[in-house]
Amino acid sequence: MNEIELTKKLISIPSYVDKTTDESIMVRFLYDYLKENLKDTEINLQKVEGQRSNIIVSKGNPKLLVVGHIDTVQPRNGWNTDPLRPIEKDGKILGLGANDMKGSLASFITALVENGVPEDFMFLIYIDEEYDFLGMKRFVKEYKNKIKPNFVLSIDGGGPNIGYGCKGCIEITFKVLGKTGHAASPLSGINAIRISTQAVNKLEEKLNKLGSNELGKSTVNLAYLKGGLNLDEDEIGKQGNNIADIAEFVIDVRTNGNVDAKEVINMVIKSIEKQNGKVVETKIRHNLSFWKTDQKEINWLKSITKEKYSKCNFELPFGYIDTQMIWEMLNKVNCATFGAGPGGNQHASDEWISVNGLTKTKAIYKEILKRKF
């Protein structure tokens, strides 16, 4: 199969995650495909959870590590075509995961098959990137002290631009207690909802004061808030004549590196206590740091890309990407993201990838595979 046929094939295999579907069929297909098409190469499954596995392709002592995920988001509403049935139209292939990132996988795998696997190489094909990062976490846990590549390429990106960093992602749940009182005199109590929102505002002010850097400034999003009168374990009074004495909220902080989860928790606790409330529970769901590679170190990739695309810039991806975990595990090794492009609508209906882009990207991947690291 060429990169175009393989993109279509991968789109036709569902790899989103819900109660009945996961990446298993995709893993089986790719494992067989790689076994059949790559010679003198180790191809192993790395068990992640239940039937769900990563695939690791390797040869020698890896100097170049390439990573890409095989899961997609769940199909959303609003598709004009069947998301699992690839359609080629006007120089584009439409289908779920076309842009994020089955097109890139197909381009890279085809480059690998046509070029042959280079010496000292590893390719991680992993699961659960769009959900809880289970695949990447599993890989990092096992390979932390085992490999020492000189360069890491994530093929999860929007070509022709090259990603070189991202903000970190911190998610924390807080449970806050106040004191109830008579609603006719709101200040007779300590309103847990009110002090919570004020604490979040204060946190935002503090993050603003910490300032901006190449990654922008750290931001905070109040993602969830629930509160009222604390009746018992699961019951919250909703009546207007109460002063809310319990609140629970979730914040998502995108850090440029100047704050971590512990510091965020301390700031919120201080602010709640200043308002005479009490934080009784904190739960960290994510505490992921930022990632940034010096552009000078990856200029060579820009030069290769510029031979195929007249316009190619370094850019910071919009959200958190788990290349960061590898960057951290490998002591800030040089990393970059470069994917098949142009494409659009990732995570939305009518997702697409350019046919021409697939072929150009394959050629760029081949150049990378020929390079010494």
Which residues of the shown chain bind Zn ion in the complex (CB under 5 A)?
Answer: 100-101, 156
Q: How far is the CB of 235 from Zn ion (least distance, A)?
A: 41
Residue 279's Cα: distance from chain center in Å?
A: 30
Helix, strand or coil, per DSSP, at residue 337: strand
Q: Which is nearer to Zn ion, 207 or 340 (CB)?
A: 340
Q: Which is nearer to Zn ion, 156 or 171 (CB)?
A: 156
Q: Which is nearer to Zn ion, 224 or 318 (CB)?
A: 318
Decide: 217 and 207 in contact? Cβ < 8 Å. yes
Q: How far is the CB of 279 from Zn ion (least distance, A)?
A: 35
Q: How far is the CB of 252 from Zn ion (least distance, A)?
A: 19
Distance from C-alpha of 17 to C-alpha of 129, rounded to nearest angstrom: 10
Q: What share of the chain is helix, strand, coil (3-state, %, to 5)?
A: 35, 30, 35
Structure tokens at 136: 């990447």
Phi, psi (deg, nearest 5) at residue 56: -120, 120
Q: How far is the CB of 103 from Zn ion (least distance, A)?
A: 11
Contact residues for 272 (Cβ-Cβ < 8 A; gap 6+): 174, 176, 195, 196, 199, 278, 279
Q: How far is the CB of 18 from Zn ion (least distance, A)?
A: 18
Q: Which is nearer to Zn ion, 69 or 138 (CB)?
A: 69
Q: Which is nearer to Zn ion, 68 or 168 (CB)?
A: 68
Phi, psi (deg, nearest 5) at residue 314: -80, 140
